[in-house]
Each structure stands twice: as C-alpha cells, then as structure tokens.
C-alpha cells in the first residue's frame, strides 16, 4: 500500500514534469540542440560557414587589443568571456575612458548567436556585421577601419590565416568581422535547463521547476522564448506605465521605439541589468519587468521563484585556450592613445 | 678524400659550436632548466611554494578585472599574455586612461620570475609583492586594497580556494598578491636558445650563432646574462654619454640612480623598448644600448647580427585555459568608473 502510494506520487511528479516540459514548449521555449548537426543548423551562417580555422582566427582577433586605436581594448574587454560574456559596469566604457553616449550597457556575447538582430536597437543583422561596429566606435575601440585592416595585414600569420579561410577576399574590416563572427557563433552555453527541456526530469530542482512554471504563467516567456530565452524579437520598452529608471540615458530604441529583448541565459552573471545597466539587483529587475512589460505587480514569491529558476540558466562555457597572438612587424601601425 | 674533408669541416663546426656554448656559459648565460625539479629550484618561492591550486587561483585573479576599481582592468590588461606579456603602448595606461606619471613602460611578465628585483627601480623583492602594487596604483587598477579583498571575499568560490591554498591566512591584498605571484612564477618561456645552451647544435641557425657571438663579444652579456638574459642586476642608465630619449619621462632609477636590466627573452615581442618605451625599433634600441651602456658605436653588421640572435629568444608560452571566473554576489563591491 505504502509502495503504491509512493509510485502514485512519483507518477504525479512525472506527470507534472511532463506537463511542465509540454507547457514550456507551448510557450516557445526551446533547448540548445545537443547534436552538432542540429546545433549547426541554428548557429551557422550560410554566408560565412563555420570552420575550425575561422573559429581559431576569430578567437585571436576577438582577444587582440591591437585592433583598437590604443592597442589596449579588445572585443573581450567589454564582452569578457571570463565573466559572463559582458563587463560589470553599467555603461560601456572604452577609448580614453569615454562612455556610451546613450548610457548603454554591454550585452553578453554568449548565446548572442540566437539573437534575431544585434545591438540594443537591433540595427545589425548578424554577428559578422555587429563585430565591425565596436572596433570603429569612437567610444569603444575607436579604430579607423582601414587601420584595423592594416594592423591585421602587417602580421604574416594573420595574413596567411585569412588567405586560407577567406581565399580571394581582401582583408578589410568586413572580413575581420566575419572571422570574429564565426568565433562568436560557437559561444553557446547549454545548461541544466536544456537537459530538462529534453526530458531529464532531475535536471532542475523542484524550486527551479516551480520558478519555470511561474516564469511561463506570469507571461515572461511571451518575449523571453526561443532557444535564447530572449533575443528573438524587438519590443516596446516600457509597454506599461513608467520605467523607474527612464531618466538614466537617452536610449529610445530603434526608430519605432523598439528594444531588443535580451537573452536570459546566464542572466545571474550579467548584472547590471537593462539596456542602461540601471540595477545590479535581479529581483528588482524582475519586478520592473513585471510592471513595465506585463503590466502587473509580481508578488515577492513570484519574483523569488523566477530568480530561482534563473539559476538553471547558468550554462557551461566552451573551453577556450587563451591565444598566443602574432607579433607586430615594422609595418604594424603604432597605437595611438589620443 | 671528399668525405674526409666533409668530416673535418663538420668537426670544425662542432668545435666552433662547443666553443660558443662554452663562451656563453663563461659569459654567465644559462638555459632555463628542462627538468621540473631543476626548474622549481629557480622559480619557486620557499615562502609561497607553488601548488597546482595556487596556480589556478592566481590565474583567475590575474585575469579578473573586478580587482580593479572600475572592474575593467586586470593584470592581463598591461601584462597581456597573448602579446608577449606586456602591452603595446609606450606608457602604461590605466584607470580613467591615466598614464604613468614617470612615463614608464609596462615590462613583460614572462620570465619576470628570473628578475632579481621587480619594477624598473627594483623596489619590490618578488612577484608576490609586486602584484599588490598595480592593483592599488591610482594610474593602474586604482583599487583600495581593502576593497580588492572584499571583492574576492564576496565570492564563495574564491573564498574556498583561498581557504584551501592559504589555510589560516586572512584574504588581504597580500594573500591576493601571493596567489598571483604563484601563477606568474610558471610563466617561463624556454626557446631554441636554451636547447642550444644545453648542447643541441642545430637549435640555432648559423646567423643566430654569429649573433650570439657578437652579443657576447661586444659586451651585452655583461648585464644581460643569467637565466633571464637580463633581470639579474640593477645598473646605471646611461653609463656612457647622453641617452637620446632622456627628455622622455622623468624616471631616474632608484635612489642610487640604478635601473633594472630587463630580460631579453621574447624581446622581439615586447616593443616599444626601454623603461620609457622610447622606440619600437629593436635596431635603434641595440644601437643606443651600445652607445649608452657599452660606450661604443656598434656597426650596422653587429646590430643586425644581435637582432638576428634575438629571434632565438622567442620562447614557447605555457598553454593557458582562459578562466571562467566566479560570479559576483550581492556583497561584491560595485565598480566605480570615477
């Protein structure tokens, strides 16, 4: 009898789990594919197919501060792969300690491949294109695109790698962006959440399952969905009421007032939050999202529960060997700190 | 007969090689030991014995920008392990884009373990002590030492690692320096030059052997000797005549006017040269050293020959897996960009 009760209870839990996976799928939540061929379908770019050589070349460029005007700032400075793929400061800070004029916060590069558009205003269609932006932005790496190309071309090892990976293509800021983009495409971080969506009932704790339920129930998943748990659409912000930190920065979204929904993968590693880095407090961020995007005041219990679910979104980072970069030559343009 | 001539010629070359190795040893040049036990004798610190755990912890801290006031600058920013263990700019540039007030250039961290003292003025006795300096310097990482310790203590993963590696020791800027120092001690880069000194006659090209001969003959090895090919002593600079770039910066050495002789390992990767980063041109640097430290005008042939030898000092870097750092907690002090 006791045994039967235990079995019945187990079946109820399994049933509840099955329901939850079903509900998650209905809500548009999808796992990162765990076979390489399926994964490639969602991360590869037909116009710049991933190869081992491109990944290696792109990694070098990603970590190379000599692409910047000062030779001190690399992609990795603001999108630091050691700390969640972003920086820790509210506002992106670059060349000459200049800060983003719209008080924009550096978004994470991890899982950015799942974003439908790049940049907070979605002005860039893909990672290859996006990567060319910060290299040139006066408040970021501040480099002239021609000088960036000259830096790369001045080092034979880079030149040979480009000739091999992009035969017949001139080395320009565009090909540099392509190589960096190829590397960024592999920066995906599968987590216990993906295991759960694929049917591993024990991958999440009961509290995390409860959190996922709440996340779906209150409506978060209406925007934070897809493989990226976000990144799939542009939305008005705020949609309801007045955003508490509206006075921080002057970013108004794209020309239609739309802002890219960020991925929530590794969200606990990417404080401060929002496009303007207004708060380091994930619970405050959840509360604000409830008010401004769902038009409802979430209870403390709901907020706690959603924050607990977020633990399951902490993913496994791809191991990265820190590159040894080619040495400058006499032809390499000299850094300019001004 | 032809065969005999060939053998005789080969013997002459072997003899010349044997002589050169002998001469190099007489001049005080020493290879990096190639057995772990012998290597440990020259890199370990009895007051902070190297362990695998300390290396891993120190590596994390070395790459962790959150030790800086802004959370944007790590040890690796100026001593970048991807590009020769230094930066590429003439003058060290840090917090708020401030530059070293004496126009000092960031020296390489690779093989710094072989330096008898640390910093250009030799004010620090070892790497453990040195590492605490830039974290606090207002022109570098600009962090208050107590805040650096709070940052580390706020993250359980760091706390546990310190408890394991430094049991009973409080986490302070000093213990942080110890862990970073332990990591830096393994940053040695054996090269073909070491193979040659150990008897591998083919490790250097004939031109490089000629360069090594010149290097010894003209007197470079009187200061650039030991395992570090430099780093073993403090010397007056200049010793003869007037230093061409004396107007660049106000660094006058230590209280006795002495300046640390830098290592020449990987010298072709660490432009710009001198304590003030005055020139990117290795040949100009060699010429100036001849005039100012040896009191002689080196011929173009001698300069070329020495520069050719320097290729043999390009070493093999230890492979480094880029760390995934602990995540901040609510207790982690917030970055301050000001």
pLDDT tens, position by position, A124-171: 999 999 999 999 999 999 999 999 999 999 999 999 999 999 999 999
3-state SS, one letter per residue, for A232-298: CCEEECCCCCCCCCCCCCCCCCCCCCEEECCCCCCHHHCCCECCCCCECCHHHHHHHHHHHHHCCCC
User: Do both B136 and B239 map to the same domain?
Assistant: no
Task: State whether residue B296 is helix, strand or coil.
Answer: coil
Determine the distance in angstroms separating the CA of A65 from the nearest CA of chain B, rounded to an integer.
9
How many other CB atoms sit within 10 Å of the CB of residue A122? 19
User: Do both B154 and B45 map to the same domain?
Assistant: yes
User: Do both B168 and B60 map to the same domain?
Assistant: yes
Instruction: Write down the mean pLDDT value for chain B.
Output: 95
A319 is a domain residue: no
Mean pLDDT of A299-303: 98
CB-nearest to B89 from A81, A99, A335 is A335
User: Do both B214 and B82 map to the same domain?
Assistant: no
Say how far apart CA A208 and CA A227 lie, in whole Å. Answer: 18
Q: Any residues with CB less than 8 A from the CB of B248 and at least 6 apart, and which?
A: B103, B276, B278
Q: What residues in B contact A96, CB-CB < 8 Å?
A: 97
E strand spans, chain B: 234-236, 258-260
Task: State whether residue A167 is helix, strand or coil.
Answer: coil
**Chain B stretch 119-138, residues whose beta carbon is closer than 8 A to a beta carbon of chain A:** none
Say if A319 is an interface residue toward chain B (CB within 8 Å): yes
Mean pLDDT of A16-42: 93
User: Do both A177 and A267 map to the same domain?
Assistant: no
Determine the distance in angstroms separating the CA of B281 from the nearest CA of chain A, rounded to an integer.
8
Task: Locate B149 and state its tokens.
Answer: 């310790």
Tens of pLDDT, residues B242-269: 999 999 999 999 999 999 999 999 999 9
Instruction: Write down the mean pLDDT value for chain A.
Output: 95
Is it the case that residue A4 has pLDDT exceeding 50?
A: yes
Q: Which residues of A125-138 are buried (b: 16+ CB within 10 A; e: fewer)?
A: ebbbbbbbbbbbbe
Task: Locate B80 and state its tokens.
Answer: 């970048």
B33 is a domain residue: yes
E strand spans, A105-168: none
The reported pLDDT for the residue numbered A18 is 65
Higher pLDDT, B287 or B13: B287
Please state, in angstroms and as integers, the Cα–Cα distance from residue B182 to each residue in A300, B126, B145, B167, following that order. 46, 11, 19, 16
User: Do both B172 and B113 map to the same domain?
Assistant: yes
User: Do both B212 and B302 map to the same domain?
Assistant: yes
The reported pLDDT for the residue numbered B1 is 46
The reported pLDDT for the residue numbered B5 is 56
Catalytic residue among B26, B128, B140, B291: B140
* Cα torsion angle, A31, A33, A38, A43, sign: positive
Is it the case that residue B194 has pLDDT exceeding 60?
A: yes
Mean pLDDT of B316-326: 98
Ordered DSSP codes for B199-252 = T-GGGS-HHHHHHHHHHHHHTGGGTS-BTTTS-S-EEES-SSS--TTTTS----
**Angle, CA A116 vertex, CA A177 and CA A269 arms, to 5°:** 80
A177 is a domain residue: yes
Given the structure tokens 């409830």, which residue do they identify? A290
Could you say which of B154, B184, B214 is where a domain stops? Answer: B184
Task: Locate B232 and state its tokens.
Answer: 């073993």
**Angle, CA B10 vertex, CA B8 and CA B15 arms, to 5°:** 95
Given the structure tokens 């590693």, which residue do they identify? A269
A165 is a domain residue: yes
Confidence of residue A11 (pLDDT cuts 50, 70, 90): very low
Residue of B nearest to A272 (CA): B334
Chain centre distance of CA A249: 21
Q: Containing domain of residue A67, as a range?
A: 43-184
Determine the distance in angstroms separating the CA of B108 from the nearest CA of chain A, rounded to an integer.
14
With CB atoms and an 8 Å threshold, state whether A88 touches B71: yes
Mean pLDDT of B84-106: 98
Q: Which residues of A are catalytically annotated?
A: 140
User: Do both B179 and B133 map to the same domain?
Assistant: yes
Confidence of residue B11 (pLDDT cuts 50, 70, 90): very low
A176 is a domain residue: yes
Say if B317 is an interface residue toward chain A (CB within 8 Å): yes
Determine the distance in angstroms separating the CA of B325 from the nearest CA of chain A, rounded to an integer.
5
Tens of pLDDT, residues A247-291: 999 999 999 999 999 999 999 999 999 999 999 999 999 999 999
**Chain A stretch 175-204, residues whose beta carbon is closer than 8 A to a beta carbon of chain B:** none
Chain centre distance of CA B8: 42
User: CATH code at A115?
Assistant: 1.10.760.10
Q: What residues in B contact A320, CB-CB < 8 Å?
A: 321-322
Tens of pLDDT, residues B107-116: 999 999 999 9
Q: How many CA atoms lie within 13 A of B216 on its CB side?
A: 18
CB-nearest to A72 from B93, B271, B280 is B93
Say how far apart CA B11 and CA B5 lie, in whole Å. Answer: 10
Q: Any residues with CB less than 8 A from the CB of B54 and at least 6 apart, and which?
A: B48, B165, B178, B179, B182, B183
The reported pLDDT for the residue numbered A15 is 53
User: Do both B210 and B154 map to the same domain?
Assistant: no
Q: What residues in A contact B89, CB-CB < 8 Å?
A: 70-72, 335, 337
How high is the ipTM of this complex?
Answer: 0.94
Say if A45 is an interface residue toward chain B (CB within 8 Å): no
Asked whether B105 and B207 are in contact (CB, 8 A), the reply is no
Peptide bond connecting A107 to the previous residue in cis, omega within 30 degrees of 0:
no
B157 is a domain residue: yes
Could you say which of B184, B218, B247 is where a domain stops? Answer: B184
Say how far apart CA B225 and CA B241 lie, in whole Å. Answer: 23
A58 is a domain residue: yes
Say how far apart CA B218 and CA B228 lie, in whole Å. Answer: 19
Could you say which of A168, A184, A200 is where a domain stops? Answer: A184
Selected residue of A324, A331, A333 to mutate for chain B interface (largest B Cβ count, 10 A): A324
Tens of pLDDT, residues A103-115: 999 999 999 999 9
User: Do both B49 and B179 map to the same domain?
Assistant: yes
**Angle, CA A76 vertex, CA A71 and CA A79 arms, to 5°:** 135
User: Do both A195 and A290 map to the same domain?
Assistant: yes
CB-nearest to A71 from B81, B87, B322 is B87
How many domains does chain B fold into?
A: 2
B170 is a domain residue: yes
Is it the case that residue B63 has pLDDT exceeding 50?
A: yes
Confidence of residue B195 (pLDDT cuts 50, 70, 90): very high
User: Do both A52 and A175 map to the same domain?
Assistant: yes
């Amino acid at each position: 009898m006791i045994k039967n009760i235990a079995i019945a209870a187990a079946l109820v839990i399994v049933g509840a789990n099955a329901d939850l996976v079903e509900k998650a799928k209905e809500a548009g939540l999808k796992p990162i594919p765990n076979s390489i061929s399926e994964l490639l379908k969602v991360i590869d770019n037909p116009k710049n197919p991933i190869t081992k050589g491109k990944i290696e070349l792109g990694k070098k460029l990603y970590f190379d501060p000599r692409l910047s005007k000062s030779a001190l700032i690399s992609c990795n400075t603001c999108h630091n792969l050691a700390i969640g793929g972003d920086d820790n400061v509210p506002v992106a800070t670059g060349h000459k300690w200049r800060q983003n004029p719209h008080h924009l916060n550096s978004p994470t590069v991890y899982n950015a491949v799942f974003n439908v558009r790049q940049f907070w205003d979605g002005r860039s269609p893909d990672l290859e294109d996006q990567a060319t932006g910060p290299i040139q932005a006066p408040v970021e790496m501040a480099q002239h695109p021609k000088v960036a190309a000259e830096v790369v071309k001045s080092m034979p090892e880079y030149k040979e790698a480009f000739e091999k990976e992009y035969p017949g293509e001139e080395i320009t800021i565009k090909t540099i962006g392509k190589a960096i983009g190829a590397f960024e495409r592999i920066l995906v971080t599968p987590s216990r959440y993906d295991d759960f969506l694929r049917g591993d009932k024990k991958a999440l704790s009961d509290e995390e399952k409860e959190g996922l339920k709440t996340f779906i129930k209150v409506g978060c998943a209406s925007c934070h969905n897809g493989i990226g748990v976000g990144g799939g659409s542009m939305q008005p912000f705020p949609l309801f009421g007045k955003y508490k930190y509206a006075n921080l920065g002057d970013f108004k979204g794209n020309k239609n007032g739309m802002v890219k929904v960020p991925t929530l993968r590794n969200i606990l590693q990417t404080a401060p939050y929002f496009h303007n880095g207004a708060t380091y407090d994930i619970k405050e961020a959840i509360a604000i999202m409830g008010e401004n995007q769902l038009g409802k005041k979430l209870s403390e219990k709901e907020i706690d529960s959603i924050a607990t679910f977020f633990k399951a979104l902490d993913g496994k980072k791809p191991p990265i060997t820190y590159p040894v970069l080619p040495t400058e030559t006499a032809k390499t343009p000299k850094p300019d700190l001004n």
